[in-house]
Structure 1
Amino acid sequence: MLKMTPLNHVHRDMNAKMVDFGGWDMPLHYGSQLDEHHKIRQDSGMFDVSHMLPVDIRGPQVRDFLRHLVANNVDKLTLPGKALYSCMLTPQGGIIDDLIIYFLSETWFRIVVNAGTADKDVAWMLKQRDQSAPQLEISPRRDLAMIAVQGPNARAKVWQVIPGSQSLTEELKQFQSAAVGQYFIARTGYTGEDGFEIILPAADAPSLWKALHAAGVAPAGLGARDTLRLEAGMNLYGQDMDETKHPMESGLTWTVDLKSERDFIGKNALLNTSTTHHLVGLVLIDRGVLRSHQHVVGHKDGSEYQGEITSGGFSPTMNQSIALARMPMQITIGDEVNVIVRDKQLRANVVKYPFVRNGKIMI
């Protein structure tokens, strides 16, 4: 039996193409994945991300607990509503999950984790809590829904629909949030465009979705979400990172704080691990489509280096095939490599991602 978000019947009423996504019944598209992609790059669109899980952690010393739990440093969070992107690691330095942490007060932090890893994440948090901070309350919030509204006109559309939201959220910078009544509105996203992610009571989600749609916000499904995040150079858990890879070989070095004296789970392993591979961008020169798991071969100084595409696909904005690939450190930006596609070697340029941000091609 597939799990359903509070918006499931709304998606079906809008004739969405529904698919099994990690055990969740989710919309793939509402007619045209391509149109949905362009709508978000040029105007505004919305995603149901209620399959993701907000987890509230409350109690004394919650900051100390998070200092040890995650690789980034929560001491960066000093302003209520501020958010931090981080990874939660195994003792060996592998990535259990990537997540966003919101600082609400010294006794209340909110963490949003991925749908596919939610049960594993909560179990890990509870295990660490029981060992070091049994006084903390860890509460998965399946009573909440999440709607992401993205695009250059997304914020204006949200202000139009949610009374009083403009005055409370207009001055928010990226990775800041504010409470608007029972709505928790964060200026975050997974598309490379501006916008909000809204956490709200599950019962209120259908009415907000319909109001946004009436205001001209296009519904968008998993297909457009994936092409948008790939263009934006954003990792997908299970493809670009997992427990077998550490952040430095997954393009996430910037999310790890090794400078402070604090200890965190996985720190010792990272300090004693040499990074042999890194994540790079690829833009295909020849005709074809790049896909995950395709083999990549590069040559440098007379030696051959082999890697693999972690995420790939067609970029609607660039009208080219692009990819993220894990390659040996010797292969760098500006090199040309060959991607093995159906026993053919297709040429691709190694580039610095993101490929597209805020509607602009960056390559």
Structure 2
Amino acid sequence: MKLLYGVIGCGMMGQEHLRNIALLPDADVIAIFEPDATMRQRAAAIAPQAVFVASIPELLQINAINCLLIASPNHVHLDQLEEVASIRPLPVLVEKPLFTSMDELPRLEALRSRYPAPIWVAMEYRYMPPVARLISEAEEATGGIRMLTIREHRFPFLQKVGNWNRFNDQTGGTLVEKCCHFFDLMRHILKSDPIRITASGGQAVNHLDELHDGRRSDVWDHAYVLVDFDSGARAMLELCMFAEGARYQEEISAIGPRGKIECKVPGPGRFWPQHLGAPPIAQVIISPRDPKGPRKLEIPVDPLLLEAGDHNGSTFYQHQRFQRAVAGQAPVEVTLDDGLWAAFMGQTAQEAAASNRVIEVPPIRQAERITA
């Protein structure tokens, strides 16, 4: 089945999607809705075959479109999903996060109950080759994960159109905007739901003196988050967004009675200093307890995929799987439930840190019961 995409939003992440869709067989972007003139110009250079339209209804009037990509700013994702649902509910891949405020949960519940087509939430980190390798081997390497640690040491938030990513009310907060990926990974790797969340975080270094339309940036730049899961496993997130000098951007470790497995993922190659030579290659390290002796595997990624985006090839692999789901050849792998849980955990962690509390979460397995 050939995917003919209509795209809603073509900023920095939307353009990464365009470059990766162009690498797929049997896929084309045929129409784009992007309100910003500069972003339209950049998107047109990547997808010259696409027509540009002035609204979502106009986009949905193009009969040839058989799927959608939503890559707009966080705070309009739900509005746009509802608009699509009311006009022409096509299969959609929507960027994270699904929502930016707990007040939106009932609307998401209503959307899920009536949307007849597949919705795939873009959680690219699952599909980074070193992370995917860790996930596939974690059970065997650990004998059952009891501790999971995710560390991201990276560069500050990049500049986006209208500076929407400088404010908690438009992003959902850093622990939603940036870290919903990691909360999704926690649930996915541990195959369990959270029962208790606490956190500490804030704004220490980045954007402190930035004013935008008279508003001072309030988005956080560092945090620790602790999560207990109903399986008995524990997970920790360590985020620092003023550590762009690090060799690896993400490091994940999973530990159990049999041993430890970890992966190390470099950041975007375009940010690697040229005078240091070639960028680092991703690694997976397996360290059994007996017999002792770590085993290190390099996990190279196709240079063409590295050139197409900042997420270690994962955007391409995600679209491959989305293509199969739209064709009815495979299930949706990142469901609305997954996207809802990831944003919910981020919101809860943000609240726990802001209020200096430990927040209990009912040990539930059905995401719709979050609203109960």
Both proteins in one fold, TM over 0.5? no
Query: Could you state the TM-score of these two structures normalised by the residue count of structure 1?
Result: 0.24
Query: Could you state the TM-score of these two structures normalised by the residue count of structure 2?
Result: 0.24
Q: Of Structure 1 and Structure 2, which has the larger fraction of its residues in strand?
A: 1
Q: Of Structure 1 and Structure 2, which has the larger fraction of its residues in helix?
A: 2
